[in-house]
Structures are given as structure tokens and as C-alpha cells.
Structure 1
Amino acid sequence: MKRSRSSLVHQVTYAAKNPHKIVPHLRRLVRDTWFRLRTRDHVAYYRAVMKSDTAKDPEGAVGSHTHRRWLALGRMQFDYLVEHGLKPECRMLEIGCGNLRAGHLFIDYLHTGNYYGIDISPDILMAAQETLVTHGLQDKLPYLTPVRDLRFAFLPDAHFDVVHAHSVFSHSPPHVIEECFAHVGRVMKPGAWFDFTFDRTEGREHQVLREDFYYRTETLLALAGKYGFEAAFMDDWERLPHKQSKIRLVKKPLAQRPLGGADIGLRADGGMA
């Protein structure tokens, strides 16, 4: 997509084609503005968003507005990872595990105790516990932990074979993504890989309501390289019925990692540099 979703032209055109979405959008705008005024940073702001959305519908809060779609998106993520290297013996860290849309399948597939899910929202993790009960997965002993940031300071070195983040960076400004890249390598084993999705744009990088962020592929590839990862765009994911794109990072040996690199951050006008 080349047109910025934050542009006035796009918004007017979209509203003209979807008049039934105007009132819900305005409600979301008012709510989100209120949350931004009352919170100290993006993570606290988005935690408030998730609390509000989860109270209405936990499955809707993770982007699935029907149970059928919730199941389908979870299955899509699971099948893709299994086809691309996930094994039952792998130790897996899922960033932004939500209410276990895909997590319930990962937990069932992996050996007992091998799944670790984290999320910034305690409310959605309460819903995740309900998902465990619904699917009878208590004996698999998954770890579900609320977090304040993406520094992973409480996790051990070189512990995970696989890291997964679906629809996390699509809601994250550049500094949150950079924080993750700067620290996640420490908890990954040598040769471990990290799959994440993102909203891709071929034009100007932008955000909508501080909830949805659009990045160029080359921006994220360069940022990953700065922190010592080999990064690859997963072309075959594009053939699946999902609007986001996917990148895989592989942890490189320390001797191969570059030093320094330019930071990526928000411009003064609210865009991305």
C-alpha cells in the first residue's frame, strides 16, 4: 500500500465508501484521545485500550470479530510455524500472546512447560486462562506473564528456540520495536528464530490514532541488522488470507554482529524517520 491511511484524502475516500464506520471511528477517536491524556507512555496507553476492548469481547480485542475468525487466524499462525520449523521440543516465547488465539494450539503441540506467553494486558491474560480451561490444557503448564516492557529482564539467557509476535508491531511505535530487538537476542539460543508480523507500506511510514503503525520492509530489516540479526521477508506468508506481512529474524553469532547504526524514531510531525 502506497497511500497513507492517515492522510485526509484516504480518510475522506474511506468514509465515503464506508459511511457505517464513521460513528464507530469517532467513538474510538474520543476514547483513544482520553486514554493518551491519562497515560504516561505508549505501553500504558495501549494497555488501557486492551482493557477497554477486552471488557467488550476478548476475541475482538485481539482482532477477531467472530469466533470462527478467531479459530481460523490461530490455525493459520500455527500451521505456518509448524511448516517452517516449529517442533514439539522447542521452547517458545510468544510476545503479545493475547487470549491464546494461536497459543492454545502451540501449547497443545509443544512439550509440557515449553510455552511462555507474555502480554502487556493483565485483562487479556485473564481471558487466556479461560481459553486454557475451555481447551483442557491445564496439564501442559504454560507460563502466562504480564509485562511492562519488552526488555525480557526476568527471562534467562539463551533459553528459547522460537520467538513469535503476531499483530504486535502493527500496534507499536518505532522505539518499542527497537527495545524488543535490542533485548530479545539475549533470551534466544544460538540459531533461534523470531517471526513477527507488521503492517507494511510502500509509501510514507505513518500511524493512525497511535494504535495502528505502518512500516516499510526495509526499515525493519535495517533495524534488525543493527542488533545482530539475519532478517528475511517471508514471501510465502503473503499468499495467506491475512493483511499483515511477516519477517523472520535469526540470531547471528556474536562475531558477526555489526557495531553501532543509526537510530530509528518518530519525527517531530508525528511520522516516522
Structure 2
Amino acid sequence: MKRSRSSLVHQVTYAFKNPRKILPHLRRLARDTWFRLRTRDHVAYYRAVMKSDTARDPEGAVGSHTHRRWLALGRMQFDYLVEHGLKPECRMLEIGCGNLRAGHLFIGYLHTGNYYGIDISPDILMAAQDTIAEHGLGDKLPHLTPVRDLRFAFLPDEHFDVVHAHSVFSHSPLDVIEECFAHVGRVMKPGGWFDFTFDRTEGKEHQVLREDFYYRTETLIALASKYGLQARFMDDWERLPHKQSKIRVTRPADAL
């Protein structure tokens, strides 16, 4: 994507081509203003967004407007990670696990107790508990924890083989992403890897209503490198039916 979705020209052109979306956008703008005035930082702001969205539809809150799409996107994430190195014996941390769109597949695949899901939204984690019950996954003893930030202070050193974050950084300002990079290496095993998706732009980096953030690939790769993490763009992810891009970050075996 080269053009900025935040530009007035883009917004007017889009509205002209999609008149039915004008009213929903105005509602979203009003909600954004209300939450922005009542919250102290971006995490608190987005926690309020997720509470609002989850109350209407937990699957819609994680970006799936039909159950069929929820299943398809979860399967796509799962298949990709299995094809790229996820094994049943791996310990996995999923950042922004939501209502376990992909998580229910990871839980079923991994050895008992090896799945850890965290999210800033207690409301969506309640929906995640429903997903565990609906899919009969209680015996796999998944860990689900609400968090205030991405410092991972309660998690042990060098514990996870795989870290995963889908549609998290697409909703995060750069300081939140940097906080994650600053601390994620500590909880990863040497040689462990961290896959995350993001909204990619080849033009000016920008955000829309503090909910959608667009970054250049080189920005995120350089930021990961600042904290001793090696990052590479995952070209083969681009062939899949998803609008976001993916980067894999690896903790070198001799890091930290």
C-alpha cells in the first residue's frame, strides 16, 4: 500500500465510492473521540475498543465478520506455523490471543500445558474460555492471562520456542511495538522465533483513528535489530488470502 488512508483525498474518494460505509465510519469516529477522551494511553484505549466490540460479537471483535471467516483465518495461521516449524512439543506464547481464533487449533496440537495466551482485553478472554469449552480443550490446560502491557514481567526467562502475534501490531503505535521487542527476547529460548503480522505501507507511515497503523517493513526490522533480534520479511505469507504482511523475528542462540 503506497497511499495514506489517513489523507483527506483518500477518505473523500473512498466515501464517494462506498457511500454505505459513511455512517458506520462516523459512528466509529464518534466512538474514537469518546474513548480517546476517557483513556490515559493507547493500551487503555484499545482495551475499551475491544470491550465495545466483544459485547456485540466476539468473532467480529477479532476481525471475523462470519463464523466461516473466523474458522478460515484461524486455520490459515495454524497451517502456516506448522509448515514453518511449529512442533507439538514447542512451548508457545500467543500475544493478543483474542477468543482463540487460531488458538483453539494451537491448543489442540501442542502438548498439554504448552499454550500460553495473553490479551489486554479481559472481555475477549472470557470469550476465549467459551471457545475452550465449545471445542472440548479443557484437558489441554491452556494458560490464558490478561495483561496491562507487553513487558511479560510475569513470564520466566528463555521459556518459549515460538511467539505469535496476529493482527496485534496492526493496531499498535510504535512505542507499544518497541516495548514488545525490548522484552520478548528474554522469554524466548535461544534460537526461538516470533512471527507477527502488520499492515504494510510502502509510502508514508500513518494511522487511522488510532485503531489501524501502517508501517514500512524496514522500520520494524530496524527496531527489532535495536534489541538484538534478527528479523526477515516472510514473502510466502503474501500469497495467502490476508491483507496483512508478516515478519519473523529470531533470537540468536548467543543473544542476551
Task: Please indicate the TM-score interval, normalised by the length of the shorter structure.
Answer: over 0.9
Q: Deviations over 1:196-226 (max 9, x none)?
A: 0000000000000000000000000000111
The answer for the alignment partner of 2:166 in structure 1 is: 166
Residues in 1 aligned to 2:69 and 2:16: alpha-carbon distance in whole angstroms: 27
After TM superposition, give the deviation of residue 102 of structure 1 in Å.
0.1
After TM superposition, give the deviation of residue 244 of structure 1 in Å.
0.1
SS in 2 for 1:162: strand
After TM superposition, give the deviation of residue 65 of structure 1 in Å.
0.2
After TM superposition, give the deviation of residue 17 of structure 1 in Å.
0.8
Q: Deviations over 1:158-192 (max 9, x none)?
A: 00000000000000000000000000000000000
Q: How many residues align?
A: 253
Residues in 2 aligned to 1:181 and 1:153: alpha-carbon distance in whole angstroms: 13
After TM superposition, give the deviation of residue 155 of structure 1 in Å.
0.2
After TM superposition, give the deviation of residue 32 of structure 1 in Å.
1.1
Q: Deviations over 1:27-46 (max 9, x none)?
A: 01001110010000000000
Residues in 2 aligned to 1:18 and 1:87: alpha-carbon distance in whole angstroms: 44
Residues in 2 aligned to 1:208 and 1:126: alpha-carbon distance in whole angstroms: 28
Residues in 1 aligned to 2:10 and 2:69: alpha-carbon distance in whole angstroms: 27
TM-score, with length taken from structure 1: 0.91
Unmatched segments (≥5 aa) in structure 1: 249-256, 259-267
Residue 57 in structure 1 maps to residue 54 in structure 2: no
After TM superposition, give the deviation of residue 129 of structure 1 in Å.
0.2
Q: Deviations over 1:63-104 (max 9, x none)?
A: 000000000000000000000000000000000000000000
Residues in 2 aligned to 1:33 and 1:91: alpha-carbon distance in whole angstroms: 40
Residues in 1 aligned to 2:83 and 2:37: alpha-carbon distance in whole angstroms: 44
Residues in 1 aligned to 2:180 and 2:119: alpha-carbon distance in whole angstroms: 13
RMSD: 4.0
Identity %: 91
After TM superposition, give the deviation of residue 7 of structure 1 in Å.
0.3
For residues 78-157 of structure 1, what are the structure 2 equivalents within 5 Å? 78-157=78-157
Residues in 1 aligned to 2:3 and 2:245: alpha-carbon distance in whole angstroms: 17
TM-score, with length taken from structure 2: 0.97
SS in 2 for 1:164: strand
SS in 2 for 1:161: strand
Residues in 1 aligned to 2:54 and 2:144: alpha-carbon distance in whole angstroms: 17
Residues in 1 aligned to 2:36 and 2:95: alpha-carbon distance in whole angstroms: 23
Residues in 2 aligned to 1:124 and 1:215: alpha-carbon distance in whole angstroms: 26
Residues in 2 aligned to 1:228 and 1:141: alpha-carbon distance in whole angstroms: 33
After TM superposition, give the deviation of residue 236 of structure 1 in Å.
0.1
SS in 1 for 2:97: coil
Residues in 1 aligned to 2:144 and 2:17: alpha-carbon distance in whole angstroms: 41
Residues in 2 aligned to 1:184 and 1:221: alpha-carbon distance in whole angstroms: 15
